Amino acid sequence: MHLFRLAATSLLASASLPQVVSSFALSRHNFISQISLLSFAARRSNASVTECNASSVDKEGTPPLSQMVDTQYPGTAVQRLKAVHERVKVIAADGTLNGPWEDVRRRILWAGGLRDLPDAVPGQGYTGHSFNDWNHVDLTTMNDDTTDNQNDGSVKGIAVGNRLGNGIRVASLPELGSGGSWSTCAMGCNQDPPNDVAHIQFRSRIAFKLVWVPNENYDTFVLVDDDGTLLAKGKPSDGPDALPHLRERMMNYKIMEGSKYSSAADQIAKET
């Protein structure tokens, strides 16, 4: 209605009243024509605004649904996993993985979207064990719908229940996106498909896994993704005595041996 009033005002302002009356039929025709043009322009303008809005969403990088859901492992927090991989690139390049072990471990936690909470109560966010033994070496990014999933007995060697939800919520860094992170148990990962906590309990891929290289001192580690592809490697500067116990490091490699997850570590061991 606003457009019609504008058009009518424009027509009346451009001609005197006698002229409008004497040429009513022609003015009426012109009036209708101008209204049609104005209506068309308005529709095009609205369409352009919509197109611009759609374009701005695309420019912000909003991914299509197919990139936000992992159909094979639907419990994966896909965008969070991608954010973790971006952080791993940082620590792979900045040299910090070759520093003192505790600093290295904190950087791995940061890359995985986890807080360093060595004094928290176990089960309530404690991460002092993360990457510090043979088993808790899988960085898993699970979505909000699966955070409270429990082990129904399908993951062998892991306690039935295995309630991790509260700890995940406390320890997860929110800036990496929705869902949560946790250092889940790798036991069972040498099976095909993996029969571990990440893939079975949380129905999620791992963002990365820490594997100790089977060289003479087991003093070098690699981070590999869910396909076993090498993402980063490090050799802590404070030597084997500062690392998790040798038995832990040896057992860590043992549960990976012969699987896709040991390939990168095997290759490095051959080269040293």
pLDDT at 153: 77
pLDDT at 152: 83
User: Are the C-beta atoms of 208 and 223 separated by less than 8 Å?
Assistant: yes
For 188, residues 6+ apart whose C-beta sits below 8 A from its C-beta are 155, 156, 157, 194, 195, 196, 197, 200, 255
pLDDT at 158: 78
Mapped onto helix, strand or coil, the DSSP state of residue 207 is strand
Pick 98 or 123 by higher pLDDT: 98
Sequence letter at residue 206: I
For 92, residues 6+ apart whose C-beta sits below 8 A from its C-beta are 223, 231, 232, 233
Q: What percent of the chain has pLDDT over 70?
A: 75
Q: Which tens digits make up the pLDDT trace of 150-186?
A: 778 778 887 777 788 899 999 999 999 999 999 999 9
pLDDT at 134: 98
- Cα(251)–Cα(40) distance, integer angstroms: 73
pLDDT at 60: 52
- Cα(58)–Cα(54) distance, integer angstroms: 6
Burial class of 201 by CB neighbour count within 10 A (0 to 12, 13 to 18, 19+): buried
Rg, C-alpha atoms of the chain: 31
User: Are the C-beta atoms of 256 and 265 separated by less than 8 Å?
Assistant: yes
pLDDT at 18 over 70: no
- Assign 29 a pLDDT band (cuts: 50, 70, 90): very low
pLDDT at 61: 56
Mapped onto helix, strand or coil, the DSSP state of residue 72 is coil
pLDDT at 93: 98
pLDDT at 160: 75
What's this model's pTM, rounded to 2 decimal places? 0.75
Question: Which residue is listed with tokens 């979207």?
Answer: 113
pLDDT at 157: 80
Q: Which tens digits make up the pLDDT trace of 75-121?
A: 999 999 999 999 999 999 999 999 999 999 999 999 999 999 999 99
CA angle, residues 79, 201, 253, in degrees to nearest 5: 85
Q: Which residues pair with 183 in a beta bridge?
A: 139
pLDDT at 137 over 70: yes
Q: Which tens digits make up the pLDDT trace of 7-17?
A: 444 444 444 43
pLDDT at 20 over 50: no
Chain mean position to CA 256? 25
Q: Single out the residue of 147, 141, 143 nearest to residue 163, CA to CA.
A: 147
Q: Which tens digits make up the pLDDT trace of 198-257?
A: 999 999 999 999 999 999 999 999 999 999 999 999 999 999 999 999 999 999 999 999
